[in-house]
Amino acid sequence: MDLFEAMLTRRSARKFTDEPISDEMLEKILRAAMAAANSGNQQPWRFIVIDNPALRDRIAELDIERGGYYKSPQLIVVCGDIGSMKWKMHWLADCAAALQNLLLATHGLGLGAVWQELYPYHKRVAAVRGILGIPETVYPMAVVSIGHPIDVPEPTDRYDPAKVMSNGWIAP
């Protein structure tokens, strides 16, 4: 699968088999995530891989606004560690870039994933911090459910030329 095919066909998978992801695939996914562009090469990302069924279920069942997190064999919590960062306000963009790489790598390996935000929802952040023992200088940004998909929606073309402006803002 080439880069553009991966970007244009990746969709969120919300149903997974019980088959776990191999350690080799997981390492490839995390290597891709850590290859992301980031501000000043600060690399604030931290990844918590959860495959313990009891812990995974505790996080998957968190009472959030739109229901629990999707259940999969593994969860990855993407976090930003601002403790030693010179430019602390950049952690969110840096972790978002790592998250996108993670999703594309997952798709490229024929796996499925869906992410749901934790930050900036303070109740979600506090709940996951408490469950996983995350320190105050580390912000859990998102939970990624990852695994072998049962089904994946068909890709859609989201290109909208009305959202592209040239040489300045043009009000509709």
Q: What is the pLDDT of residues 28-82, one digit of tens each?
A: 999 999 999 999 999 999 999 999 999 988 887 776 655 556 778 899 999 999 9
User: Residue 3 carries which side chain, given as an amino acid letter?
Assistant: L
- Residue 147: the pLDDT is 94
* Strand order through the sheet with 112-117: 45-50, 74-81, 138-147, 112-117
Residue carrying structure tokens 């996108």: 100
Residue 166 placed within a domain: no
- In the chain, the percentage of residues whose pLDDT exceeds 90 is 64
Residue 112 placed within a domain: yes
In this structure, are residues 56 and 74 in contact, taking their beta carbons and an 8 Å threshold? yes
C-alpha to C-alpha distance for 50 and 54, rounded to whole angstroms: 10
Residue 6 placed within a domain: no
Residue 131 placed within a domain: yes
Residue 99 placed within a domain: yes
Domain count, the chain: 1
C-alpha to C-alpha distance for 147 and 15, rounded to whole angstroms: 9
**Rounded to two decimals, what is the model's pTM?**
0.91
**Higher-confidence residue: 97 or 66?**
97
Domain containing residue 29: CATH number: 3.40.109.10
Residue 165 placed within a domain: no
What is the rounded average pLDDT for all residues in the chain?
90
Residue 60 is part of which domain span? 15-151
Q: Which residues of 83-113 are buried (b: 16+ CB within 10 A; e: fewer)?
A: eebeeeebbbebbbbbbbbbbbbbbbbebbb
Residue 76 placed within a domain: yes
